Amino acid sequence: MSATTTIEKSAKTDRFEAPDYYQLDELLTEEHLLVRSAVRDFVKQEVSPIIEAYAEAGKCPVHLFKKMGELGALGPSLPEKYGCGGMDEIAYGIIMQELERGDSGIRSMASVQGSLVMYPIYKYGSEAQRMKYLPQLAKGEMIGCFGLTEPNHGSDPGSMLTTLKEDGEGGYILNGAKMWITNSPIADIAVVWGRVENGPIKGVIVEKGMKGFSAPVIKGKWSLRASITGELVFENVHIPKENVLPNVQGLKGPLGCLSKARYGISWGAIGAAMDCYDSALRYSKERIQFNKPIGQFQLTQKKLAEMITEITKAQLLSWRLGTLANKGKATPAQISMAKRNNVDMAIKIAREARQIHGGMGITGEYPMMRHSMNLESVITYEGTHDIHLLITGMDITGLNAFK
């Protein structure tokens, strides 16, 4: 299918209804609704017309960074002083939901930039670092990535091998490699976590062009095809003192960023599920077999009724988590539960919705296969489905399965 044909077809498909079965809009403020409507329009105008073509070609729509910056979707809950939105956690969640209705890869671009690059610079950085990086990152004029995972240390980042050797002047010499890093080949900066020799884990800001630093692309992905993923390779990279994050040490540094991003993903996954459900509901009323719409068959109704039930439960979970997050009371284990539940819900809905579309469901004319393939990454990154289950298990029993 040519890119133009796909763009024309996508533009013709109107998928901008969104389920609100329990009148959850009543729980949202006027600001939340305004933010949602702005991001929904943005996705309709800037993402939906091009996403199938980009995903099919395996290309990242890099131009969307600046547009998402103009929209206020990059670091929306960080303070306005640094060029960010100063919004609450529910507004941030809604932005992730709407972006992921478009595509998980687009949400990934925004959530890595906002939660994994801007947040640690804000939370753990010096005032000089905040002023230097945050305004440019918020505008999408600078792109960032986050390096925690290594080739041999994914679920267990505490065993990382990347090293930081003191240079005697407050800086470090960085050696090692990171793997599966969203945005890395196009990033201007990387927030990287390494272990100080005989010491704790620390975070540093590596800049493109630093001697010994490279970021090769990872090819051959069948998932998140519109998001670019790569490695980070460090060979004796000198990190000056000004690029060391001064206000955190230990694994709680990177894990604290993950809490922020996982919360956003819990909302994002709802967006992907909504898009699949909307498409399946519409198709079930239009597609005639045995002289009636397939939506009139009990088996199709069962699929649709279960979908809307699960979406509604996920919406309630994320909304409640957002109210806790606004009060600074959302625990990492609560966030794990929401990320795990909602991504699992979305991947199952994408599959059921694909079935409702019959053969047509496997084409790029409908969004389910793209969402389904994307969600295979979403259920793996930011902590796998099983790791989050074990985090819940540890929280309720007090017994640690990881040690």
Q: Which residues are catalytic?
A: 382
Q: Which of 7, 24, 177, 251 binds ligand TGC (CB under 6 A)?
A: 251
Q: Which of 259, 266, 300, 315 binds ligand TGC (CB under 6 A)?
A: 259
Q: Which of 19, 58, 154, 293 binds ligand FAD (CB under 6 A)?
A: 154
> Minimum distance from CB of 181 to ligand FAD (Å)?
5
Q: Which of 15, 171, 377, 391 binds ligand FAD (CB under 6 A)?
A: 377
Contacts of ligand TGC in 107-146 (CB under 6 A)? 108, 111-112, 146
**Contact call for residue 180 and ligand FAD (CB under 6 A):** yes
Closer by beta carbon to ligand FAD, 139 or else 153: 153
CB 218 within 8 A of CB 180: yes
For the chain, helix, strand, coil in percent to 5 are: 55, 15, 30
> Minimum distance from CB of 147 to ligand FAD (Å)?
6
CB 164 within 8 A of CB 198: no
What's the CA angle centered on 400, arms 399 and 403, to 5 degrees? 140
> Minimum distance from CB of 264 to ligand TGC (Å)?
8
Pairing of strands 144-147, 163-166: unpaired
**Contact call for residue 136 and ligand FAD (CB under 6 A):** no
Nearest Cα neighbor of 371 from 280, 283, 287, 281 is: 280
Give the whole-angstrom CA distance, residue 69 versus residue 387: 33
Pairing of strands 189-196, 144-147: parallel
Give the torsion through C-alpha atoms of 252, 250, 87, 272, to 10 deg: -50
Residue 33, number of CB atoms within 10 A of its CB: 12
**Contact call for residue 19 and ligand TGC (CB under 6 A):** no
Residue 233, number of CB atoms within 10 A of its CB: 17
Contacts of ligand FAD in 216-255 (CB under 6 A)? 224, 229
**Contact call for residue 172 and ligand FAD (CB under 6 A):** no
Instruction: Give phi and psi for 56, each to the nearest 5.
Output: -65, -40
**Contact call for residue 155 and ligand TGC (CB under 6 A):** yes
> By the criterion CB under 6 A, which residues form the site for ligand TGC?
108, 111-112, 146, 148-149, 155, 157-158, 182, 250-252, 255-256, 258-259, 261, 332, 381-383, 387, 391, 402
Q: Which residues contact ligand FAD (rule: CB under 6 A)?
A: 112, 145-149, 154-155, 180-182, 224, 229, 377, 380-382, 384, 386-387, 390, 402
